[in-house]
A and B are shown apart, each in its own frame.
Chain A
């Protein structure tokens, strides 16, 4: 399933960065405007899939030598881990906390533990989607 196509390759080089930026934006904006862990993860995954389509598995794998199963596993761990973290602090399971922290240079910022949870969701989505698509495309061998 390798498509070597000049137009696709050229477009991908530009588009992937736009999609990646959008994915990151969607991820962080999720708490206030549309977006969030799932969507961010899905968009990120589609960017990665696009890269695989354009450049081929080997080349992308050189640039991103990750095992996406592991990424998915880390995501699940993170998502459940934040749940247990609140238990450690004597709260109910999965209680999320948001605190305002004063940083030396950038001033007051809100640190929400929900971001970690969402990050876990994102990583899982990315890992699973890419794993599924990569495996299916290799599946016939």
Chain B
């Protein structure tokens, strides 16, 4: 296994197999469980279509994935610097691009595990099975670039700021802003500002794609524009992180 692979394996192991990683997954599962249990208890929600519940669950999984990516990304470089382990890492025979790849591969593995974790929850709340497979595909295709993009963003910012706490704050604020469509339904985003925000916001792109696929029954392949927005976000943040890593000083 090459150096990049070893780094990716180490990152994934820390994120998934350590007590801290398992704690993260436990926290994610508790959030998803809480949402599922609230759905059972609420009579008001009885008017919702089951597809609406699946859509909500997809949005929550994406939000949690992005949150996990932000935490891992903030720790990836800034955390290494604070622990004093950045210097040995930079001295290791790994190109800077490989370093970025190894770090993000660990986050990708954590996201993949989160997707696996989310599947039983989607099955549990999707009692009618309406567009479940399409929703799952949309989650993989749209949720992945959105979540990993936030990981790249935190990683790049951490490389510049050198402080995981200083990195977390702006990233979390941006994530909250970006994920606000989870709380504000489409009808509340019909103003010119709302439409413009939806057009450039990768989180909105993912949510609108979930809406189209799960609730409206459109094919996942028809969500090209939304996928493009998510990919532009991923490419932009990857470039941001790449430049940040290349400028790293010992």
A and B bound?
no
Which residues of A does B touch, CB under 8 Å? Answer: none
Which residues of B does A touch, CB under 8 Å? Answer: none
